[in-house]
Amino acid sequence: MNYEELLAFAGRNPMLSMALVGLTVAIIVTEVRRLFRGFKSLKPAELTHLINAGGAIVVDLSSSSDFEKGHIAGSRNVQPSAFGPEHKLVANAKQSPVVLLCRTGNASETAAKALKKAGFEQVSVLEGGIPAWQQAELPLVKGRN
């Protein structure tokens, strides 16, 4: 396909062409935002490796009832409204890996932005949250611990 054929196709299918351009722009904007947001997204396998290496602080921002139904072993439950850079779990951990997770991703991303703004160096979010962890068939612990 050459340039003239591409222009002819666009002329014959203006709505389809505009949709393609719109989707392309949306994808580019999303990826650029992801690059500059300051924190990293981890896949479940990457989080498993980080936990096994030791030293990572894993904070689950889910509701208490959801946390009790199932959470990642070693994670600590904190309500999003009570969590911030000054919280006792992370206050002295600006150089340590801090991983945030929740059920939807909204609370963890908001908290990650706040930590990065406060100068935390190794902030990550579990991409897809607990549902992604379950989809990877990784174990959850029930109860409060």
Q: Compute, in degrees rounded to 10, the torsion defined by CA atoms 92, 59, 50, 46.
A: -140
Asked if residue 51 and residue 23 are part of one domain, the reply reads: no
- Rounded Cα–Cα distance for residues 115 and 113 (Å): 5
Residue 14 lies in a domain: yes
Residue 110 lies in a domain: yes
Mean pLDDT calculated for residue range 57-70 = 95
- The answer to pTM > 0.95 is no
Structure confidence at residue 13 as a pLDDT band (50, 70, 90): very high
pLDDT of residue 101: 96
Please tell me the total count of domains within the chain.
Answer: 2
Asked if residue 91 and residue 108 are part of one domain, the reply reads: yes
User: Which residues form the domain of 10?
Assistant: 3-35
Mean pLDDT calculated for residue range 114-128 = 93
Structure confidence at residue 2 as a pLDDT band (50, 70, 90): confident
Asked if residue 89 and residue 23 are part of one domain, the reply reads: no
Residue 23 lies in a domain: yes
Mean pLDDT calculated for residue range 13-25 = 92
pLDDT at 64 over 80: yes
Asked if residue 87 and residue 72 are part of one domain, the reply reads: yes
